Structure 1
Amino acid sequence: MDRLEAMMRLVNETGIARLDITEGDTRIRLTGASPAAAAAAVVAAPASEPEAAPSDVAVAAILSGTVYLAPAPDADPFVAPGDRVEAGQTVALVEAMKTLTPVTAPRAGTIARRLVEDGQPVEAGQPLFALGAPTA
């Protein structure tokens, strides 16, 4: 834990945007703090991200990058838990290499849960939302 805290201080004090460390089956990703938000995100492998319930379908990131839940910083999010979505509807954006790529719902349904935070780094295939059954 002391080593992790030292790495977190290093990231925050030097302004490093992101630091990835892998040792055996443990993977640690630290992201630098921004004035608006943040700190370090620690991810242990095997991945311990929240997962969709068995009856839900996961809306997953299609590539690795930074997820944005709204079309602009001051805009409302694309979707929120409880919202009904149609197949192909944009639910988030992933930025990679200065390119914004839409993430779309694979089918109609209701957003059951949001599994990520706005501005969070994500990996390809990582669940972003749990999509429940369509509602009448």
Structure 2
Amino acid sequence: MDLNYLKRLLKIFDDSTLSELSIEEEGIKVQLARTSQQPQPVQVVTQVPVQASQVQAAPLQQPASAPPEQKSAPAEADHSANTVFSPIVGTFYRSPAPDADPFVVVGQRVAVGDTLCIIEAMKLMNEIESNLAGTIIKILVDNSQPVEYNQPLFIIKPD
């Protein structure tokens, strides 16, 4: 193996995209390996703490064509003492099992702590209890219907 042969090998290796080359000839072994001279890219992530005073919600604007008194919730669904609201997001069930009687029906009297329904959230069954004594006037949600947080569920006429 002569010097010109080695120089040509080095030139070919430099011009190629090979990372390693090994040649053995006449009992002489030549190994070439490429080491990275370029710095590896580093991703820098910085977080800036957000203060509550910096974040403000944009005011909600109604479309010009919508009447100003239009509401998405029923008129009975105000936050008065006789409306029971969903405390969580989930699926509303009127009874403990598909073939069982509902917990409450319209016209039924309930006491504080009586179970009104179940809301399933993430495979957990959450019993929703009455927060006042009275008579069920209206059930605002159908069985197996998805409900949102703070959605009205029942209207109860207090005793």
Q: Which TM-score applies when normalising by structure 2? A: 0.52
Distance 1:58 1:92 in 2: 14
Equivalent residue in structure 2 for 1:79, among 81, 85, 104: 104
Distance 1:25 1:75 in 2: 44
Higher strand share: 1
Structure-2 change in CA distance of 1:25 and 1:71 (3 Å): farther
Aligned counterpart, 2:83: 58
Instruction: Tell me which structure has the larger Cα radius of gyration.
Output: 2
List structure 1 segments (4+ residues) > 3 angstroms apart after TM superposition: 52-56
> Structure 1: which amino acid aligns with 2:89?
S
Distance 1:102 1:55 in 2: 21
Deviation at 1:125, TM superposition (A): 1.0
Q: How does 1:22-41 map to 2 (within 5 A)?
A: none
> Structure 2: which amino acid aligns with 1:85?
V
Is there any run of 5+ residues in structure 2 with no aligned partner, and where? 1-60, 64-69
Distance 1:25 1:117 in 2: 29
Aligned counterpart, 1:125: 150
Is there any run of 5+ residues in structure 1 with no aligned partner, and where? 1-23, 27-44
> Structure 1: which amino acid aligns with 2:148?
E
Aligned residues: 93
The CA deviation string for residues 102-125 of structure 1, in whole angstroms up to 9 with x for no partner, is: 111011110010101000010111
Kept after mapping to 1: 8 A contact 2:132/2:158: no
Distance 2:93 2:110 in 1: 17
Identity of matched residues, %:
42
Distance 2:143 2:114 in 1: 18
**2:134 is the counterpart of 1:115:** no
Kept after mapping to 2: 8 A contact 1:50/1:115: no
